């Protein structure tokens, strides 16, 4: 396994995880990569490692270039185990006394990952480290997306090693944005943002402003997952997309997310979808059992209205509906219109429980919701259509320009 030169004397030495399909609950249909980078300077420097089980790939790629013992410095931009899992063994190989540069929180995390005597050196925001001909500046990016997260920036080349930010779960032999399909890779970047970074959207906006204020010249963005952004267009698309996704301005797009026991809630969902679509709003019908929760969140990211339907079971929500609401709430989507609906047999608590969740997410609830006992007949389906129309009108009003 060979390294790939990303620019003179700087190499990608990461690992490709072709077969992973579940990344701590996030569906990764096309695998992922754990990116690590080797800088050959007077001080040979490794930026990040890889998942523990794939360390052989990292070591093989490095060994194509140098004896790993020649590595002087290791930088850990992020301590989550997909990037630090191989750290202990890498240090064993290169010499445990060598410094591992990380943030203050990174030092704390790593000491609790390994409980061993690694030479962890905490760096401060803005601090610079000379590698010889080059210098690296550390940029603290706390909570993007862990308390320890930081970027490393190669000052002269303008290369930003951005940890998880700007990443995508996508396994490929190709390493750069100009080698893959633009729309496909932007989809993966959007899914990554929606499922990993969305809770921290206000911090992303602050970071983007800070990058502007610092006047950082960026010639390349090297995230810890997926392809490297090296084209002007790719870098600019990525920065603009992060701004847009973080602003969470509602779009004329609605989702009707539901589960059903005997197709009654489904009939209601279909009637709502038809009415929204007839109003010229982009709409999707999402049966939770046919979609992975992380794909649903990708759709939620740019939707202005979210309607949730659930049958009542054992006086509560259908379990799949609870699952998606819990997951969605944790990711803190903002600026959405919300509504609830559902059929029930005898007690019918689901709509009330959905509304409670929507309120907690601060969705704008435009209707108390529709609940109906057993099989919805014509009159109730026309009420569902009215709800769809109300949602469409509210969304048009909310997204009116000027």
Q: How far apart are CA 245 and CA 299, in angstroms?
A: 12
Mark 233-262 with x for binding to ligand FEO (rule: CB under 6 A) and - for no binding. ------------------------------
41 touches ligand FEO (CB under 6 A): no
Smallest distance from ligand FEO to CB 321, Å: 28
- Could you give the residue numbers annotated as active site? 24, 78, 80, 82, 145, 164, 192, 225
224 touches ligand FEO (CB under 6 A): yes
Q: Which of 134, 225, 252, 253 binds ligand FEO (CB under 6 A)?
A: 225
82 touches ligand FEO (CB under 6 A): yes
Q: What DSSP line would sit under 258-274, residue for residue?
A: E--SSSHHHHHHHHHHH
Environment class of 126 (CB within 10 Å of its CB; exposed 0-12, middle 13-18, buried 19+): exposed
Phi, psi of 353, deg, nearest 5: -70, -35
Of residues 83 and 230, the one with the C-beta less far from ligand FEO: 83
The distance between the two most distant Cα atoms of the chain, rounded to a whole number of Å, is: 77
Interaction with ligand FEO in 146-175: which residues (CB under 6 A)? 146, 164
Among 78-86, 214-222, 246-254, 352-360, which window interacts with ligand FEO (CB under 6 A)? Answer: 78-86
Going by DSSP bridges, is the β-strand pair 37-39/10-12 parallel, antiparallel, or unpaired? antiparallel
Q: How far apart are CA 219 and CA 102, in angstroms?
A: 23
Of residues 17 and 82, the one with the C-beta less far from ligand FEO: 82
Q: In Å, how far from its chain's centre is CA 93? A: 32
Check if the beta carbon of residue 215 is closer than 8 Å to that of residue 164: no
Smallest distance from ligand FEO to CB 145, Å: 6
Beta-bridge partner residues of 150 = 140
Smallest distance from ligand FEO to CB 18, Å: 17
Q: How far apart are CA 107 and CA 79, in angstroms?
A: 9
Check if the beta carbon of residue 338 is closer than 8 Å to that of residue 306: yes
Of residues 151 and 341, the one with the C-beta less far from ligand FEO: 151
* DSSP category for residue 107: H
How many residues sit close enough to ligand FEO to count as binding (CB under 6 A)?
9
Mark 171-210 with x for binding to ligand FEO (rule: CB under 6 A) and - for no binding. ----------------------------------------
Question: Which residues sit at the interface with ligand FEO, rule CB under 6 A?
Answer: 78, 80, 82-83, 145-146, 164, 224-225
């Amino acid at each position: 396994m060979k390294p790939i030169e990303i620019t003179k004397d700087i190499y990608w030495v990461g690992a490709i995880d072709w077969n992973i399909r579940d990344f701590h609950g996030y569906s990764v249909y096309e695998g992922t990569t754990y990116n690590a980078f080797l800088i050959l300077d007077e001080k040979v420097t490794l930026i990040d490692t890889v998942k523990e089980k794939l360390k052989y790939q990292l070591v093989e790629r490095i060994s194509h270039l140098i004896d790993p013992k020649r590595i002087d410095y290791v930088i850990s931009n992020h301590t989550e185990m997909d990037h630090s899992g191989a750290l202990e063994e890498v240090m064993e190989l290169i010499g445990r006394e060598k410094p591992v540069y990380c943030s203050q929180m990174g030092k704390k995390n790593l000491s609790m990952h390994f409980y061993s005597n690694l030479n962890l050196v905490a760096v401060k925001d803005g601090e610079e480290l000379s590698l010889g001909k080059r210098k690296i500046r550390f940029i603290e990016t706390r909570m993007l997306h862990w308390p320890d997260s930081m970027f490393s920036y190669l000052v002269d080349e303008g290369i930003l090693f951005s940890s998880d930010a700007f990443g995508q779960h996508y396994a490929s032999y190709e390493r750069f944005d100009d080698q893959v399909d633009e729309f496909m890779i932007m989809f993966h970047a959007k899914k990554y943002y929606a499922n990993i970074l969305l809770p921290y959207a206000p911090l992303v906006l602050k970071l983007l402003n800070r990058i502007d204020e610092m006047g950082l010249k960026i010639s390349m963005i090297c995230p810890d997952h997926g392809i490297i952004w090296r084209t002007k267009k790719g870098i600019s698309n990525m920065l603009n997309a992060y701004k847009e996704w973080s602003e969470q301005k509602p779009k004329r797009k609605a989702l009707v997310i539901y589960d059903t026991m005997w197709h009654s809630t489904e009939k209601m969902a279909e009637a709502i979808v038809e009415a929204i679509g007839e109003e010229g709003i982009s709409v999707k019908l999402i049966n939770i059992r046919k979609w992975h929760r992380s794909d649903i969140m990708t759709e939620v990211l740019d939707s202005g209205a979210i309607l949730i339907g659930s049958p009542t079971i054992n006086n509560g929500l259908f379990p799949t509906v609870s699952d998606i609401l819990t997951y969605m709430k944790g990711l803190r989507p903002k600026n959405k219109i919300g509504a609830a609906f559902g059929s029930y047999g005898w007690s019918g608590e689901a709509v009330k429980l959905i509304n409670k969740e929507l309120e907690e997410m601060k969705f704008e609830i435009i209707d108390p919701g529709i609940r109906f006992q057993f099989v919805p007949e014509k009159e109730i389906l026309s009420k569902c259509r009215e709800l769809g129309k109300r949602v469409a009108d509210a969304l048009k009003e909310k997204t009116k320009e000027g």
